[in-house]
Chain A
């Protein structure tokens, strides 16, 4: 039951990602994430198998660790994007301000 729910969620996530234009690297990361997610849902033992091989006690722990690292990347990605957009916003506001400059004759 939980497997089909998770699978459904992952497919929705995949459709959501596919409906947005993503850069090459981001698309690759999203597809990788999808593949890993599907693998772990369909074969729950896969996570345990990987965990055993990298020295993590439980498969669930491994998934949590990956989720944390993935979350950090996502946050950094948002931050850099915010900084880029901040520069764009500044450019617009500056352009408007300079066009509407006022001075007493």
Chain B
């Protein structure tokens, strides 16, 4: 695949990754039909995440230090937009998403004419989801409705698809995990049209361990209150 082909307008997949050497190879294998328009943002990993991603055929952008998933996503989106991305998909590196879901999001975006397609594990399925995780996510959904007025079923799903125009209008400033709510707030603020698409989230021992702890939701809440206050 040449550089010129890589620059043709198309769907780019942005995969933020921090110390995901154990999972990133399989995840990128699953994304092979989107290669080479897959960019892994290595958020300052200390393992072989970058090397494995490169070997798997993805483009790699590496943060010199660990900034957080929100910052990694924005870096990846910047990279994709600079390469003429027509659509930008965000996809988690820990293997919790199915690559088939991207096609579903893409089809939903096309048929609905919306600006953003959001994956929802509550419309779809998430077997093995721990009960505590489920209730925390439910609380996040309720909070999102309060904060943004968006009537979503899932508020913190890492699987999203943006049109180019939508990706250009959303600027993630929250470096940490509060970016998920920040993106939704931006969707509401920019009056972007969105659709929710049923997707599957695979809870494995690995993804649960790599995922956020429930206590981290307190930090997310604080970040959001701070952001609202200083906007």
With A94-B71, A97-B41, A98-B79 as contacts: A103 and B59 at CB distance below 8 Å: yes
With A90-B67, A103-B6 as contacts: A98 and B175 at CB distance below 8 Å: no
Interface string of A88-105 (1 = CB under 8 A from B): 011001101110111111
B interface residues, how many (CB within 8 angstroms)? 30
- The reply on B63 being an interface residue by CB < 8 A is yes
In terms of DSSP, what is the predominant structure of the interface of chain A? helix
Q: Is the CB of B79 within 8 A of A103?
A: no
A104 to B71, CA, bound (A): 24
- The reply on B62 being an interface residue by CB < 8 A is yes
Option from B6, B64, B79 in Cβ contact (under 8 Å) with A93: B64
Q: Is the CB of A103 within 8 A of B36?
A: yes
Q: Which residue of B lies closest to A90 (CB)?
A: B71
**Residue among A80, A86, A94 with the most chain B CB within 10 A?**
A94
A interface residues, how many (CB within 8 angstroms)? 17
Q: Is the CB of A101 within 8 A of B61?
A: yes
Binding site for B on A (CB under 8 A): 80, 83, 86-87, 89-90, 93-94, 96-98, 100-105
Binding site for A on B (CB under 8 A): 1-3, 6, 36, 39, 41, 50, 54-55, 57-65, 67, 71, 74-75, 78-79, 82, 173, 175, 226, 230
